[in-house]
Structure 1
Amino acid sequence: MKSQFIKLYCGLIVSIVLALVLMQALLLNLFGDAQDELFQQQMASYRTLVLETTDQAERRMLRMQTLAEDMGAELLPAEEDELYEEERRQVLEQGLLVLNSDEALCYFVLPGDAQIYRLQYREDNPLLDQLYFFENMTILAIFGALGLVLAFWLYRFGRRLTALDQTARAFAEGDLSVRASMASHAEVGSLNETFNVMAQRIEKLLSSQKQLSNAVAHELRSPIFRLQCQLDMLAESQDETKRQGYIKGIEEDLQELSDLLEELLQYARMESADLRIERKPQDMVNWLFELIEHVQLESHKPIRFSHAAPLHKCRFDAHLFQRALQNLLRNALRYAETQVNVTLSIMDEGLQIHVDDDGPGIPADKREDIFQPFLRLDASRTRDEGGHGLGLSIAQQIVQLHQGRLTVSDSPLGGARFTVAIA
C-alpha cells in the first residue's frame, strides 16, 4: 500500500504542477499584453507626476529614487549594451519602455538628461521575500493536506481491499458459501456486489454439475446393469427364442444409452457460454403445423392445433426452437390420456404457444422443480414412460436464449399446460 501511496501522491503533485504551469502560460498568453500595458501606464503616471511636481533635474532624480524605494525597487543607470538600438530609440522618443512587467523592469529618461535609467525590484526586497515565503508555505500546506487526505483514503480503501481479498482467497480455497460484506464501510464500489453475484453463480453451477454427475451416474447404472445381465444370459442360453429376446433387450438398452448421451450433449450445449442463436424471420403458423405433423407420427394420440391469429412472422432460431417444442410435445404425449392441444395466440408483448394435455397434471408446489435436469416428480411420471428428465430443462434453456419465458399451469383439459412466450 505504501508503494501505491507514493505513486498516487507523486502523480497528483506532478498533475497539479503541470496544471499550474499550463494555467500560468495560458494566462500570460491571454492577458500578458494587457498586464504590460497596465504597468506601462502606471510607470508613465509616476514619471508624469515627477515631471509636473518637480522642475529641477536633481530633484526629479531624487523624487524618482524615493518612489522606487517606496515600491521596493531600485533605480540604476542602464549599461550601454543592455538595450538594442531599436529599444534605445523607443526610450529616447517615448521617455519610457516596459520590457518585463513580471520583474517590474522598465527603462526611462528624464527631459534634459540623455542617461537611460533602469527601474526594477530589488532582490533583497523584504516584501517580496515575505510574499515568496507565504507562497511557498501555502504550497507546502496544500501538498501536505493533500497527502494526509490521500493517506487516509488509501488506508480505508486498503482495508476494504484486504477484506475482499481474504474473501476471494477463502472462496478459492473451497469455501463456496463465503460472501463479500455489503456494509457501506466495506464496499469497494460495485466490486463486492459483482463478486457475490459471481460467487453465487459459481456455487450454483458447481452444485448443478455435482447433481448432474450423480444423476448421470444413476441413469447410466440401470441400462449398463441390464446390458451386463442380458449379455451373461445370452452367453449361457441355448434357447434361440430366449436369445432373440435378450438381443432385442440389448438393442433397446443401447438405444436408451444413445438417447441419453444425445440429451446430455444437447444439455451441455445449452449450458455453454459460447452458444449463439441465429434468429431469422419464420412463418410461425406454417412452421408449427409442419412440426406438429412430424411429431404426430410418433404417437396415436391426436395433436390438435388452433390459432386465432393470421399468419405472423416471428424471429427465432428454427433449429433450437424446434428442439424445444418437440420436447414439450413429446412430454405432453407421454403423459396425456387421450389428446394434446396446441394453441397459438398473439399478445401485446409477443407470441404465446400453449401445449395442453389431459394427463395427471403437475402440483403447484412442484412446477418450478420440473425444469431441473433428471427430476421426476412421482410414480405417475417415471422412466417407464420414457425420457430421461432432460427435455424440459433443455426446452427452458432454449426459450431463455430467445429472451422468452416457459411456464407451467393447469390445463383446461385437466392436465398440464406449458406456455412459451417470446417477443
Structure 2
Amino acid sequence: MQWKSANSIFVKIFTAFWLLIALLISALILLPKLDGRQLQPIKSSDARVIEQQKALLIELIDKNPLLSPRSILHLLPKNSEKRIYLTEPSGRLINASAPRKMLQFMLDSDSPNKTSKKINTYRTYFGPSLIQHNQHEFFIYVSIPNQKKSLELIEWLLDNPLLLLLTALLVSTPICAFFAWHLTIPLRQLRDLSTKVAQGDLETPFPIIKNSDEIAMLGKSIQLMVRSLKNMLNNQQRLLSDISHELRSPLTRLSLAASITKKHSGETKELQRINLEVERMEKMIAEMLNLSQIQLHQAKKEQLALHEFLEDLFLDAQFEASQYNKSFTYPTLSQVNINIYPELAYRAIENIIRNAIKYAHKYISVTINIEADNIILTISNDGPLIPSNELYNIFSPFYRLNLSRDRETGGAGLGLSIAENAMLKHGGKVWADNLGNQVSMHLQFPRFN
C-alpha cells in the first residue's frame, strides 16, 4: 500500500483513534496504581516512621516495667498526629478500640514478616512490625495524617465506575468535538459551494482550503468540475445562439418569399400554413434561448415587496383571461418581502398562468400561502386533469401530454420547463397535482437567501 501523507485524513483519523485507545489503556493501567488503598511495600522513609514509634514505645516500657501494654498506650502523647495500635501475636487487639479502616488494614496486612503501607483518603497506615522487649511480644501498627488529598478524587472515581465513565465522556467529548469540527470545516465549505453550484451559481468563489489532504484534493476536483461546467454551458449558449442565427436566417428568407408570393398570387391556404409554421419556429427558437439564458443566469437576488411584484402580473393575466371569456381571481396580496430573481420569477409565474389560461374551461384562481421560510403560489384551473403518471414529466423540455394536444394548444413544450429551471435557480421548486376537478400548479419560493 502506498504510504499516506502525514496530512491525509486517513493518517489524522488513524492517529486520533490510536491516541484515544492508547490513552484509555494507559488510564486503565495507571488508575489502579494510583489507588493508595492497595497494599504497598514500605520505603525507607516509611520505615523510619515505624522505628521512631517503636523506640518511643520501648522507652515507655523501660520506664514503666510494671504496666501492661494497654496501660503503656495511655502514656503516649495525646496531641500527637501519629496513632499507635498494638496486637498480640494471636491477632487480638490490645487497644481498647480502633477505627474501622485500621481494622481492615490489619486484616489485609496479616503477614508478620512483611511490613506494608496503605494510603487512604485522610490517613496512611503502616504495619505490622514486631516488638520483642522485656518478655513483651506484640505487633505495632502506625497511622499518620495523609497529605495527598488529591487521591480522594481518584479513590472516589474508582469506587464509582459509572462516574468514572461519565468523567471520561466529559473529558473526551470536547476533544472529539473539536477534532470533528476542525475536520469538517472544509467539508461544510464544499457543501455550501456544491449547493450554490446545484442552484446554478457557477460564479461563487471557492473556499481556500489550506490543508493538503483528501478534502483539499476533493475541492480541487470540484473546482475543475465547475470550470468544465462553465465552459460546457458557455459553449452550449454559444451553440444555441449560432443555431438560432442559422435557423432564423432561412426562416426570414422563407417568410420574405411567402410575402412576395402572396403579393403576386394572393392569399392561399398553403401560404397561411407556411406563415404559421414560421411563427411557431421563431417562437420555439426564442423559448429555447430563454431556457438557456435562465440556466446561465448569474444575477443577484433582490428583496421585493410581494404585493408590488405580483399586482401588475395578475392584472395583466386577468385582462388576458377576460379576452377568452374566462375569469381570473386572486386574493388580497400581503405586504411581505421576498428575495427573488425578479426576471426569472416573473417568467416562471407568467408561464404557469398562461398555461392555465390556455387550458382552463371557465376559471383560473390563485392562492398564496405564506409560511415561515417559504411562500407558495398555487395556480389552479378547471381544465382537463393531468394523468397522475404524467404530473412529473410535464416539466421536461418539449414534452407533450398526448397526441391530442398539438401545437395549437400545446405550444413548443418549453414553458413549464422554463418555469421549473427558474424555480431551481431560486432554490425552490414547482410541482403539479389534481385537486378535485381542477389542475393545480404550485410554485414554492424561499423567503430568505
**Structure with larger RCO (C-alpha < 8 A, sep 6+):** 2
Same fold by TM-score, threshold 0.5 exceeded?
A: no
Q: Which has the higher helix share?
A: 1
Task: Give the TM-score, by structure 2 length.
Answer: 0.41
